[in-house]
Structure 1
Amino acid sequence: MTAEVAVLGAGMHPWGKWGRAFVEYGVAAARAALADAGLDWRDVGAVVGADTVRGGYPGYVAGATFAKALGWQGARVTSVYAACASGAQAIDAARARILAGLTDVALVVGADAAPKGFFRPAGGDRPDDPDWLRFRVLGATNPTYFGLYARRRMAVHGDTPEDFAQVKVKNAAMGALNPYARYRKRVTAEEVAASAVVADPLRLLDICATSDGGAALVLSSVEFARRHGAAKPVRIRAVSTVTPRYPSTVLDLPDIATDSAVAVDPPDEPFRASLARAAYEEAGIGPEDLSLAEVYDLSTALELQWYEDLGLCGGGEGAKLLREGATAPGGRIPVNTSGGLASFGEAVPAQAIAQVCELTWQLRGQAGERQIPHARVGVTANQGLFGHGSAVIAVR
């Protein structure tokens, strides 16, 4: 039997560039999630905050920061950081506390106030940090990496810039229907092609922005949810945060080298696919059971890779799946019904939580014009810095 926790409430602060502190966005999302759950802040026994590295010291102790802002009431606090997977790790920490019987109700919150332009490694010069080295030695900012990945897909699988543009067209159409999205305007393939080149072959509209925003969830034991009147709540059935199995996942430099003495045979699947497989195994389902998916579309080309890594199609068949309309509303497996990062931009600690908010609303039948009929099972996926990544499965 799978171990499940209930999603009693979901709330968000709209994404944008608001110029205010991250705490304000998180508190607004938390209050919205509590209202959605029909609970008072004093009913919460544990708070898990997803940290931001851009909010000063309060960002490094996000759990306590949000608890203080909501009003000290004795809840236990936890703060976690895992780059883009921070929100999912926060969900996992809250889930573990609930399943251990240590609390009935937990609040998960993530929020960010992102700088304009490229994300820069925080904390000054760090020559022992592969991310810092990638930026400073190679000049490989995130868009550069995205462009190289897109070129690889073109060379290996025959993807085209027109395929990448269609991902943006699809996601922008859904984001136009989402009141929390930063960009709420449909775009055409011609507009994508006419936007400025950032990292060939990717253009400005192929790459996600940086944003402010917040998201929150109220989680509980299934028993508490039923006592609270939620006879059949959305449940989180799996959270995967597995690490890669390759022995050389970081640059082989002093102080950060991977210990080859514990190396294992490399798997037949890439790291992102192993994240999904672990989630499917824990949930006792397969990709054929999915109703929808929310994936981390840092670039349009990366969304196509997620199709394959989630097992929605075979290797190299992502663009074909897109062209067939399978990942659009009305298709076999709609992807990024929220509008994705194409419509939101990155608010790093909030985004993995926001993905689960979208699954919750879809599985409840509360997604409005974005609603996927008869949605029963959804998966989220993202990959963060180093070996951090996540996949969450929710069911109704």
Structure 2
Amino acid sequence: MSKDVAVLGVGMHPWGKWGQSFVKYGVAAARAALADSGVNWQDVDFIVGGETVRNGYGGYVAGATFAQALGWNGARVATSYAACATGAQALDTARARILAGLSEVALVVGADTTPKGFLAPVAGERWDDPDWLRFRLMGMTNPAYFALNARRRIDLYGATAEDFANVKVKNAKHGLNNPNARYRKEVTVENVLASPVVSNPLHLLDICATSDGGAAILLTSMEYARKMGIAEPVRIKAISTVTPTFPQTIMDMPNFSTDSSSAVPAPERTFKESIGYAAYEEAGISPEDVDVAEVYDLATSVELDWIEDLALCKRGEAEHLLRAGDTSIGGRIPVNPSGGLACFGEAVPAQALAQVCELTWQLRGQAEGRQVEGARIGITANQGLFGHGSSVIVSA
């Protein structure tokens, strides 16, 4: 039995700071995905919304919110939340129902309206939530958290501030021709290094903004795609949403335990490495098969980490790939041809979906001005709060 599902339609609402309801962005993206697919709205039998906790009750019940806004059609609904991995988890919910034979046509929608500045935890005390503790007890906002990882790359692998800046330069160039990107302007290394230091060694232009935006994907069974006359659609081959493995429960770092008497051996992979590995295993491919990647570049240094976490190169070699131009369009393994979060900013429930939209356009050969020639297999990566993470593998 095939575990593939077809991506028949993708759509987005451009990222920016529009000051409108998240529902407006999600509906626009959904209508674009429906138009792209050629599927009749009445055929949609399942709608999954990416939850948006900052946007009131409608955000908490996003599946029903989008279903109502698009016009009730009798479809079943579901709502997913996994912070920055929300879109992939919502996609997995839709895929699972299709593969179970309980649905033929599923619409997945994510959209967000964000506050100015970095994203803080929602109100309330959560003493068992390490991310809440990180913010409230340590004052460790996301930029400071990213800076620790950046400093670690400097100490372990000889990364430089110029390397981090060059990630921004690359992604800004990629995003120039992306009509959905918020920032469409080339920058130089000097521009990045001249921007204010937010948390040493990261500058303002090393860190992504918060944005409004939306993305949607129309998934169908392979049988339905064939009925639509589409014999070879873009397909979802794997979706990974694994959690950390005890005792390696530090989200980004290796296990530093020195207790050799522990009865539980450290797992073979870190949390982020395990996300990509699970996707490769499910899809039956290896990292060498990947042609293009869309990864979670909340900060420039984070992109370098993900390149290694996805085994697209060996640990400590991401800077070498960057310097050689291998991660640019035209290079060996282009990373973030969309421009990434560097050009989009965070619209949390939408960003994992936006990555799959980009890979779909790439694999169809429709990414005008930023096309990765001959791309047949793409991978995404995201990390959400408190052990959530995701990776999606898409093939032509």
TM-score, normalization by structure 1: 0.95
Q: CA–CA distance in 2 between the matches of 1:122 and 1:159?
A: 34
1:225-240 matches, cutoff 5 A: 225-240=225-240
Tell me the CA shift for residue 118 of structure 1.
1.5
Residue in 2 that maps onto 1:216: 216
Tell me the CA shift for residue 264 of structure 1.
4.8
Tell me the CA shift for residue 175 of structure 1.
1.0
The one-letter amino acid of 2:210's match is T
The answer on whether the counterparts of 2:248 and 2:267 sit within 8 Å (CA) in structure 1 is: no
When residues 336 and 267 of structure 1 are mapped into structure 2, their CA distance, relative to the original with a 3 A threshold, is: same
Tell me the CA shift for residue 136 of structure 1.
1.4
Residue in 1 that maps onto 2:276: 276
* Between 283-292 and 263-272, the greater mean CA deviation after superposition: 263-272
Q: CA–CA distance in 2 between the matches of 1:71 and 1:157?
A: 53
5+ long unaligned stretches in structure 2: 252-262
SS at 1:179 equivalent: coil
The one-letter amino acid of 1:18's match is W
Residue in 2 that maps onto 1:126: 126
Tell me the CA shift for residue 270 of structure 1.
1.4
SS at 1:369 equivalent: coil
Residue identity over aligned pairs, in percent, reads: 69
Tell me the CA shift for residue 78 of structure 1.
0.4
5+ long unaligned stretches in structure 1: 252-262
TM-score, normalization by structure 2: 0.95
Tell me the CA shift for residue 266 of structure 1.
2.2
SS at 1:9 equivalent: strand
Q: CA–CA distance in 2 between the matches of 1:8 and 1:354?
A: 15
Instruction: Tell whether 2:286 aligns with 1:286.
Output: yes
Task: Map Cα deviations across residues 83-129 of structure 1 (whole Å, 9 max, x no partner).
Answer: 11000000000000000011110000000000000211113333332
Residue in 2 that maps onto 1:114: 114
The one-letter amino acid of 2:191's match is E
Residue in 2 that maps onto 1:51: 51
Tell me the CA shift for residue 177 of structure 1.
1.0
Instruction: Tell whether 2:166 aligns with 1:173.
Output: no
Residue in 2 that maps onto 1:335: 335
Task: Map Cα deviations across residues 125-150 of structure 1 (whole Å, 9 max, x no partner).
Answer: 33332222111110100000001110
Q: CA–CA distance in 2 between the matches of 1:40 and 1:3?
A: 24
The one-letter amino acid of 2:265's match is D
Divergent runs of 4+, >4 A: none
Q: CA–CA distance in 2 between the matches of 1:271 and 1:360?
A: 27
1:183-202 matches, cutoff 5 A: 183-202=183-202
SS at 1:135 equivalent: helix
Residue in 2 that maps onto 1:344: 344
When residues 26 and 301 of structure 1 are mapped into structure 2, their CA distance, relative to the original with a 3 A threshold, is: same
The answer on whether the counterparts of 1:238 and 1:279 sit within 8 Å (CA) in structure 2 is: yes
When residues 76 and 142 of structure 1 are mapped into structure 2, their CA distance, relative to the original with a 3 A threshold, is: same
Tell me the CA shift for residue 76 of structure 1.
0.2
Residue in 1 that maps onto 2:37: 37
Q: CA–CA distance in 1 between the matches of 2:271 and 2:229?
A: 40
Residue in 1 that maps onto 2:255: none
Q: CA–CA distance in 2 between the matches of 1:151 and 1:330?
A: 29
Q: CA–CA distance in 2 between the matches of 1:265 and 1:176?
A: 47
The one-letter amino acid of 2:197's match is V
Residue in 2 that maps onto 1:141: 141
Q: CA–CA distance in 2 between the matches of 1:109 and 1:23?
A: 10
SS at 1:55 equivalent: helix
Tell me the CA shift for residue 250 of structure 1.
7.1
When residues 247 and 201 of structure 1 are mapped into structure 2, their CA distance, relative to the original with a 3 A threshold, is: same
1:250-329 matches, cutoff 5 A: 264-329=264-329
Tell me the CA shift for residue 65 of structure 1.
0.4
SS at 2:372 equivalent: coil
Residue in 1 that maps onto 2:389: 389
Tell me the CA shift for residue 249 of structure 1.
2.9
The answer on whether the counterparts of 2:129 and 2:386 sit within 8 Å (CA) in structure 1 is: no
SS at 2:53 equivalent: coil
The answer on whether the counterparts of 2:248 and 2:271 sit within 8 Å (CA) in structure 1 is: no
Tell me the CA shift for residue 248 of structure 1.
6.3
Residue in 2 that maps onto 1:23: 23
The one-letter amino acid of 2:315's match is G
Residue in 1 that maps onto 2:66: 66
Residue in 1 that maps onto 2:12: 12
Residue in 2 that maps onto 1:254: none
Q: CA–CA distance in 2 between the matches of 1:133 and 1:275?
A: 24
The answer on whether the counterparts of 1:2 and 1:282 sit within 8 Å (CA) in structure 2 is: no
Residue in 1 that maps onto 2:153: 153
The one-letter amino acid of 1:362's match is Q
The answer on whether the counterparts of 2:248 and 2:270 sit within 8 Å (CA) in structure 1 is: no
